[in-house]
A and B are shown apart, each in its own frame.
Chain A
Amino acid sequence: MNKKVIFILILTLVALVVLYLYSFGPWAGVRASGNFNPASLRLSDANSLSAVNKSETFGTYQNKDVKENYYVIQLPRDWRVSTGKDPGSYAIAAANANVQLGLMDVPDNSTLELYVLSQDEPRLRQSLAGYSRIEYTKESINGNEAYRLIYVSRVGGDTYQTIREYIAGQDHAALMVLTSKQSYFPNMQPTFNSIINSFNWQNK
């Protein structure tokens, strides 16, 4: 072995250590695919958003956390909106409703509908007590392919009704989960529908 080979071996070893630190070590956070953008939590000026209706009861949020999946959505102004678990998501606290918005990854070798029916719904059926599907429809939300799953489930003796709305996107799909007690659901449904219908991708 000559000096050049030894130098290459040392360089390789250093590169592998750096790679390990960058992948699993303390530098792993540096290369996250998306980051929480503070602007995503601010109410936007709806004048510039042609696809979204202006409203006094609804505020417009532009989510700019994940580069290929910027989106715009309207939420009631009196709901408390905070960031969810992952970039591109919101967790919303509201009276009589629990709403979660976020992005989900659909593998390229599957379609959104296949994913919903073959993976997501069976998972819900297994994990939720008293799961029962009420409705499943294919629809279009502002020109985007979408699927709506409505179901009931039981938590601690109460029955809850949930809308899961899947909207196909460029890289990730959007997932909205809007839940309320079954007795409140008829009152909440118009609000839920307004939220869903306000959704649009910004970089189609």
Chain B
Amino acid sequence: MIKQIFIFISLAIIGLGFYLALFYDVPDAQMMINFFTSWFLIIIGISSLLINLFWGK
């Protein structure tokens, strides 16, 4: 059960990251912070998904 919740949260983080990267309209002055935040979420999301997959194997 905990593993499934963890996968759901990871996928939600990845989804939020892609939303910020591709669809969110950002003012020019905040492009850099948006780029960093979105890819940070994508990396953390994928990483936690993989860790969840390989944990205990």
Give me the interface of A with B, judged by CB distance under 8 Å: 2, 4-5, 8-9, 11-12, 15-16, 19-20, 23-24, 28, 31, 33, 105, 107-109
Query: In the bound complex, how far is the Cα of B54 from the Cα of A105, in angstroms?
Result: 45
Dominant secondary structure of chain A at its interface with chain B? helix
B8 within 8 A of A: no
Cβ of A16 and Cβ of B51 under 8 Å apart? no
Across chains A and B, which 9 residue pairs bring their CB atoms closest together, nearest first? A108-B25, A23-B36, A12-B47, A105-B28, A4-B54, A8-B50, A15-B43, A19-B39, A5-B51
Give me the interface of B with A, judged by CB distance under 8 Å: 25, 27-28, 31-33, 35-36, 39-40, 43-44, 47, 50-51, 54-57
Dominant secondary structure of chain B at its interface with chain A? helix
20 contacts between A and B (CB under 8 A): A2-B56, A4-B57, A5-B54, A8-B50, A8-B54, A9-B47, A11-B47, A12-B43, A12-B44, A12-B47, A16-B40, A19-B39, A19-B40, A24-B32, A24-B36, A28-B32, A31-B35, A33-B28, A105-B27, A107-B27
Contacts A2-B55, A8-B54 known; list 8 others, CB within 8 Å: A2-B54, A5-B54, A9-B47, A16-B40, A19-B40, A23-B35, A23-B39, A33-B31
Query: In the bound complex, how far is the Cα of B31 from the Cα of A138, in angstroms?
Result: 30
> Which among B27, B32, B36, B51 is the interface contact of A9 at CB below 8 angstroms?
B51
Determine the chain A residues whose CB is within 8 A of the CB of B36 once the complex forms: 19-20, 23-24
Cβ of A8 and Cβ of B27 under 8 Å apart? no
Query: In the bound complex, how far is the Cα of B50 from the Cα of A108, in angstroms?
Result: 36
Cβ of A107 and Cβ of B25 under 8 Å apart? yes
Determine the chain B residues whose CB is within 8 A of the CB of A4 once the complex forms: 54, 57
What residue in chain B is nearest A103 (Cβ atoms)? Answer: B28
Cβ of A8 and Cβ of B51 under 8 Å apart? yes
Query: In the bound complex, how far is the Cα of B47 from the Cα of A9, in angstroms?
Result: 7
What residue in chain B is nearest A16 (Cβ atoms)? Answer: B43
Query: In the bound complex, how far is the Cα of B25 from the Cα of A93, in angstroms?
Result: 35
Query: In the bound complex, how far is the Cα of B47 from the Cα of A24, in angstroms?
Result: 22
Query: In the bound complex, how far is the Cα of B4 from the Cα of A114, in angstroms?
Result: 46
Query: In the bound complex, how far is the Cα of B57 from the Cα of A105, in angstroms?
Result: 50
Query: In the bound complex, how far is the Cα of B54 from the Cα of A11, in angstroms?
Result: 14
Nearest CB on A from B13, distance (A): 13
Nearest CB on A from B57, distance (A): 7
Determine the chain A residues whose CB is within 8 A of the CB of B39 once the complex forms: 19, 23
What residue in chain B is nearest A15 (Cβ atoms)? Answer: B43
